[in-house]
Structure 1
């Protein structure tokens, strides 16, 4: 029977990008690990989400796996093994079962789309595969795994290969995970491995902007000269993963970006199958927590912390009067303080109702006139220029780098420019005018009562 190359819908548990610098693995990084702590934390967060999503299988695209000029490679062998012995850390190793079913299906799917493939003989995995897999394995991943390589630049249609990958995963069914391995520009700072170029950081900003906006279809639409001078290996692997999704992101999020050693590292979620779903229960959690506190009883009918509600994230709870829309209380934190979003929301709701020093404590008779809003914050990302801020889309954290921090949520009425947003957050933090500021931005998923 002829193989059908038709599009099969892919619904992954999670898909995203992990960097592959060996230095982010503790056994390699040692006392230099603190310089890349944002990347390490984001890699662990991505790995935690992947394992909690419980995918049926994992596929990883590595730009450092063996290549051929005009064909994409698929690792063979019963087990996929590798370590970081070349970086003086042989104990940092991965050992995962190969997935021959997916490998075979992928080969057929690629050929049906005119993309050649070849089997990579069993050998030690490259660090482009080992580093991401180390974080996933350390978080608890032990399932079926497939690793693919890329052709030489321009040697094959990567969009077609990604579509073949997505169709193969979709045809096998279940809920797979898909990870692209890649580092951004290797020339961001003087002394960088590939030498410094003053425009290298511009490339990184362009890629971060596209991913943050969910424009995965534009991830390879970068000035070729800029891409060449950046000395990157992130675009092709990310393009393959994005094409597997049909360039349809969901719950996309940049978890971190930094370039501490001159190489840009980005950790990002392209698609999270659990994103958003379930958060609509949080306003009811907030209301019940406040009602219980006012009535001096235990909270009733709170949802179980399952799925997205089991995640840890910072939360702000806002109370507004239904009668006139005026603010009645707002309390939140920049770090998750509880084990899951249900408890986090309940705690912040009680604080917003009873501890916001701008207002007297809420009284029981006011509850009927209050509308509860819950804002779940994304990971924070460093901002280098004011142009990266957009007060309608991003919240901002302003700090002095020591002990003062101010925060402003996005979409605040009357705050129309980045300069206004930063100035308000600076004043809230009590930071002197003219002080050197550290800026971070974040997105918010807001759910509110009708």
Structure 2
């Protein structure tokens, strides 16, 4: 027996609440009508539990957060609506079952409460990503308990498996359950919108909604990384979890509404799935391994060496020796080099040298790759199980030379700031570092140099090599 009776994708624009929108909400009347339709449908299903996945609750980098007290409430005072509030009783038995399954399946998830959140200066409360779907549900039906979950930047496979765990929990408890994936689509649809415009935004919204409508689950997980990153969305991870909850179901989505008048995409969907015998999890795992193997096999010698260095270290516990069959520029030349590790687009470690400290560039890369994974003080040590999810880049540095502020370009040149024994280095062409002043500010902060100090500046160029390029 399948106990999740229906699934929905719902947006969460605060202005959809009349006390926030104060008339502006009429611009997205189609979205309002679609959300009301979902509320009415849920009232007929009479679920005992509503599971909501949100991007705007207390988010942790290493675990999904499950709110776990008797009750939870929130309001829209942040958006200058001091009258509207939402509250609900939490289904703690569901949470208990879900955590038990996550432990069994090694899915990183944790129950959170007021005491835990106090350590992070956060309140235990509903966020607008959960309150807005609940606002439309509560208009028609209130006899349910809530499971409030904030997603985390985990691997696609872990998010999918977490969705499977939600489904198993509902089945084990024999709970009539409704699943809501809360998330807005691209935030970069318009040059007049609140975020930087990207032409990839519209493409992302169309691609995601069409794949969900047509039930192309693998295609959802295989969307172009550049398009996804450029879109600036906050709903895809909610969708990944929802699709995991649909394991062994033939996905059949209906687009109830799509609008983007404020530069943000609001997609509303319902799903009327059918059971099938074969699941998708193994196909996703196979696709992930295939993509990884393709990425590694097409890698240039620089990042391939960094990858081999990590694999050797994690299998033996020792640094690998310099291979004998390397190109001359790796085996003979001496250069400073930085190795950067990213996981799901976020930095996971970066260590480097601005001048050569070994007898060859190859040895520089071999050592710095391992130190990026194990010695970067900003991050916990990379686990062996993370290697498959890492993207590696290698920056080879030219020799730095003295310069002045007027000769800098943060896209072309990296900088080194020097004051006495203090040195701070920043690589060029980093996301969000678009001005010379900001580049120097960050470099000074890294070195512990005051902006009012008189410091020397050196600049350098890099040749950047990325996996898959």
What is the aligned partner in structure 1 of residue 73 from structure 2? 81
Matching residue of 1:57: 49
SS of the aligned residue for 1:185 comes to: coil
Instruction: Say if 2:164 and 2:245, in contact at 8 Å, map to a contact too.
Output: yes
How far has the Cα of 1:154 moved from its partner?
3.8
The residue number in structure 1 matching 2:180 is 179
- Tell me how far apart the structure 1 counterparts of residues 102 and 229 of structure 2 sit (CA, whole Å): 28
Q: State the Cα deviation string for residues 60-119 of structure 1 (Å, max 9, x = none).
A: 111111121211111011112011110111322111111011000000011111112212
* The 10-residue stretch of structure 1 (95-104 or 191-200) with the greater mean CA deviation from structure 2: 191-200
Cα distance per residue 1:194-220 (max 9 Å; x no partner) = 211122100100011111112234323
What does residue 290 of structure 1 align with? none
1:220/1:236 contact within 8 Å kept:
no
CA contact (8 A) 1:97 1:142 kept: no
CA deviation digits over 1:17-50, x for unaligned, max 9? 1101101112211221121111011011011101
The structural deviation recorded for 1:269 is: 0.8
Query: What is the SS of the residue equivalent to 2:106?
Result: coil
- Between Structure 1 and Structure 2, how many residues are aligned? 266
The alpha-carbon deviation at position 16 of structure 1 amounts to 1.1
In the TM superposition, residue 247 of structure 1 has moved relative to its aligned partner by: 5.9
Match of 1:218 in 2: 219
Name 2:59's counterpart in structure 1.
67
Which secondary structure state, in structure 1, belongs to the residue aligned with residue 126 of structure 2?
A: coil
Where does the alignment leave 5 or more consecutive residues of structure 2 unmatched? 115-123, 275-469
Distance in 1 (alpha carbons) for counterparts of 2:42 and 2:216: 22
What is residue 261 of structure 2 aligned with on the other side?
260
Larger deviation, residues 75-84 vs 116-125: 116-125
Are 1:58 and 1:176, in contact at CA under 8 Å, matched by a contact in 2? yes
* Separation (CA, whole Å) in 2 of partners of 1:16 and 1:257: 14
User: Taking structure 2 as the reference length, what is the TM-score of the superposition?
Assistant: 0.54
Q: What SS does structure 2 have at the residue aligned with 1:222?
A: coil
1:90 aligns with 2:82: yes
Match of 1:30 in 2: 22
Question: 1:210-260 deviations in whole A, cap 9, x for unaligned?
Answer: 111122343232100000000001111011011111162465311001101
Aligned match of 1:10 in 2, 25, 28?
2
CA pair 163-269 structure 1, distance change in 2 beyond 3 A: same
Counterpart position of 1:192: 193
Bigger Cα Rg: 2
Residue deviations 1:280-312, cap 9 Å, x none? xxxxxxxxxxxxxxxxxxxxxxxxxxxxxxxxx
Match of 2:91 among 76, 84, 99: 99
2:246: which partner in 1? 245
What TM-score does the superposition give when structure 1 sets the normalisation length?
Answer: 0.56
Match of 2:165 in 1: 164
Which residue does 1:229 correspond to in 2?
230
Instruction: Report the equivalent of 1:208.
Output: 209
* Whole-Å separation in 1 of the counterparts to 2:76 and 2:250: 32
2:342 aligned partner: none
Change over 3 Å in CA distance of 1:160–1:153 after alignment to 2: closer
Q: Identify unmatched segments of 5+ residues in structure 1.
A: 1-8, 274-450
- Pair 1:43 & 2:55 matched: no
CA–CA distance in structure 2, aligned partners of residues 264 and 15 of structure 1? 19
Superposition RMSD in Å: 2.0
Q: Is the 8 A contact 2:187 2:264 kept in 1?
A: yes
CA distance in 1, matches of 2:5, 2:202: 32
Cα 1:65–1:86 change in 2 (3 A) is: same
> Which runs of at least 4 in structure 1 moved beyond 6 Å after TM superposition?
none
